Chain A
Amino acid sequence: MVADNAMVLNFFGLPWKAAIIDSAISNTLLLLACLLVMNTLRYYLPRGKQYINIFSICLFLTIIWLLLAKLLLRIALNHYPGYADLLHHSLSIRFSIAFLLLGCVTMISILWYNQQEQKEMNERKIDAEKLAKEAELFKLRQQLQPHFLFNSLNSINALIGSRPEEARKMVQQLSDFLRGTIKKEETQWVTLQEELQYLQLYLDIEKVRFGNRLATEIEVDENIKQLKLPALILQPIVENAIKFGLYDTTGNTVIRLFATKEGDNLVIKVLNPFDPETSSPKQGTGFGLKSVQRRLYLLFARTDLLTTHGKENIFTTIVKIPQVQ
């Protein structure tokens, strides 16, 4: 392009040396402008009506380019006879060529980056679908919870002989619990109150199974009970707490749950004791907490909503639910 440009200038009567210097300066500046446009578009792609902005940016850049080129060329080449005249006359044609070129570069960049974005979006979509399928499968398995179910049935069996009233009550709790698991959709949002009622069923059943070994403390302000959260999101967290706090320790166990509102987030903390010698809840959870993490990511595209830490013998799980709308 430098050569073409120089040849044209030479054709209009400029000496070769001057022609080459001229075209080198103007083309370098133009190249810089193009790079600027390309780089901007990489991070900022126009949508719909914003295309008019792109047009104005092109126009603006071309004008800047022209002024800058004119200034530099004057300084560099004004001593050539007749150059000032030539420059003055060629300004409009220089402008149109530069505008055309910048316009083309912009168009091509937009097309290219759009395609890239599309590709990335497709990949994300495929990933998300895959995760959703896995979560679905996991949910099915979770619903059955064979260990929990059979052990609860066994407890009922024991109660029938000695305390039939309690047996009847537990049958009711177990039925309500199972109905809740089957009925709720993963996509559904429920109030904190509903979710807590559901959790209470689960905890009550575990209390019957383990007698006075399990105690729970639930602290929730009245005024946040109507806040919403995705259905069944607390269930795996409390289950994890039970698994390590109750199934894997020998003494009495207290599971604590606190819910507060911090800014626009509903924040729920679950605390359970654990034995650092025989187990680490983080390592052993496998799918339980991971599935919560994934669901939160699919819903909010954030990975910082679920955090855990173990300190001495207490393991804390914190989940934040952004209150959208």
Chain B
Amino acid sequence: MSKVIIIDDEPLARSIVTEYLQKHPNLVLMQECGDGFEGLKAIQQHQPDLIFLDIQMPKITGFEMLELIEQPPSVIFTTAFDEYAIKAFEAHAVDYLLKPFDQQRFDKAIAKWAEQKTNITEKATQDLLDSASLSPSQSQRIVVKNGSKIKIIPVHDVQYLEAADDYVKIHTQEGYFLKNKTMTHFEQSLDSQQFVRSHRSYIVNVQHITRIDPYEKDNHVAILRSGAKVPVSRSGYGKLKEVLGL
């Protein structure tokens, strides 16, 4: 017996999955969810083995929802059309179903999942999310979890990012938020004309810089509008100068 959750914003799209699931008595449908927030709650509550997940949904996308889960279950994506997402699936997903799909195709996806179930690693899901984040829509905002609340930060509100062990501290006017990602991930997914890796442990939003002062020998420090000071290494100074056109 495996537990299943469906997350899709269209009722009919959920009902077709429910219908196809009837042929698989070993799969038990725990809940149907209409958006990512509901999905998050349901996943915490039921700890499903498999979820069917749409990508384009209100408020937060399917990818953003997955990013907020510490140990995501296996995922079969169901989507109509998303060229970036499809690239990501081809590389990393268990399987993906392009709407509309028939029972046969659905059964195949389930079979594939059952076969891989034992050796699906968290790493694969992580890789999928990393490559999905490279699509343009994903680089416009960052979704973080703040206690039980979910916070959507538009990237232009981000002042700077700071490495902190396995996490990255995302500094905004309202304080900082933690995200379980690497600096390299953010360096790649954020717009390089706006976000510059000024230091091994810092990425700075150039739109928030008011001035850059010298600091000790060879080093500089960027002063932000908020008053925050961000270290700038020698190579970081070169990158900053290039982006700022100095």
Which chain A residues lie closer than 8 Å to B19 at the CB level? 158, 161-162
Residues from chain B with a CB closer than 8 A to the CB of A151 are 10, 13, 80, 99
A148 (CB) vs chain B CBs: closest residue: B80
Which residue of B35, B59, B98, B102 contacts A150 across the interface (Cβ within 8 Å)? B98
Q: Is the CB of A250 within 8 A of B13?
A: no
Q: Which residue of B lies closest to A153 (CB)?
A: B100
Contact B56 A154 (CB under 8 A): no
User: Which chain A residues lie closer than 8 Å to B11 at the CB level?
Assistant: 210-211
Per-residue 0/1 for B26-46: is the Cβ within 8 Å of any A Cβ (1 yes, 0 no)? 000000001101000000000
Q: Looking across the interface, which residue of chain A has its beta carbon closest to that of B15?
A: A158
Contacting residue for B56 out of A147, A155, A156, CB 8 A = A147
Distance to closest chain A CB from B37 (angstroms): 7
Task: Determine the distance from Cα of A211 to Cα of B141 in the docked complex, in whole angstroms.
Answer: 29
Interface size classification for chain B: 20 to 34
B15 neighbours in A (Cβ, 8 Å): 158, 162
* A150 and B81 within 8 A (CB): yes
Q: Which of B66-83 contact A (CB under 8 A)?
A: 80-82
A275, CB-defined interface residue at 8 Å? yes
Q: Are B56 and A247 in touch, CB under 8 angstroms?
A: yes
- Which A residues lie within 8 Å of B98 (CB)? 150
Q: Is A129 an interface residue (CB 8 A)?
A: no
Q: Is B152 an interface residue (CB 8 A)?
A: yes
CB of A302, distance to nearest CB on chain B (Å): 32
- Say how far B123's CB is from chain A's closest CB, in angstroms: 30
Q: Known: A210-B10, A211-B11, A250-B35. Is A154-B16 also a contact (CB below 8 A)? A: yes
Assembled-state Cα–Cα distance A148/B10 (Å) = 12
Flag B165-195 by CB within 8 Å of A: 1 or 0 each: 0000000000000000000000000000000
Cross-chain contact B12 with A250 (CB below 8 angstroms) = no
The CA of A48 and the CA of B102, in the complex, are separated in Å by 71
CA distance A150 to B101 in the complex (A): 10
Q: B238 — which chain A residues lie within 8 A by C-beta?
A: none
Known: A153-B99, A158-B16, A162-B15. A147 touches B81 (CB 8 A): yes
**Binary A-proximity of B144-179 (CB < 8 A = 1, otherwise 0):** 000000001000000000000000000000000000
How near does chain B come to A162, taking the closest CB pair, in angstroms?
A: 7
Query: How far is the CB of A30 from the nearest CB of chain B, in Å?
Result: 52
Q: Which residues of A contact B80 (CB under 8 A)?
A: 146-147, 149-151, 154
Residues of A within 8 A of B13 (CB): 151, 154-155, 158
Contact of B152 among A161, A250, A278 (CB under 8 A): A278
CA distance A272 to B188 in the complex (A): 36
A275 pairs with B59, CB closer than 8 A: yes
Residue from the set B34, B98, B99 with the largest chain A CB neighbour count within 10 Å? B99
Sample of 5 further A-B pairs with CB below 8 A, known A146-B81, A161-B16, A208-B12 = A150-B100, A151-B13, A154-B100, A158-B12, A158-B13
14 A–B pairs (Cβ distance < 8 Å), ordered by A: A147-B81, A150-B99, A151-B99, A154-B16, A155-B12, A155-B13, A158-B12, A158-B15, A161-B19, A210-B9, A247-B58, A248-B58, A278-B59, A278-B152
The interface of chain A, by Cβ under 8 A from chain B, is 146-147, 149-151, 153-159, 161-162, 208-211, 247-250, 275, 277-278
4 cross-chain pairs, A with B, having the tightest CB-CB distances, nearest first? A150-B80, A154-B99, A158-B16, A158-B12
Which residues of B does A touch, CB under 8 Å?
9-13, 15-16, 19, 34-35, 37, 56, 58-60, 80-82, 98-102, 141, 152
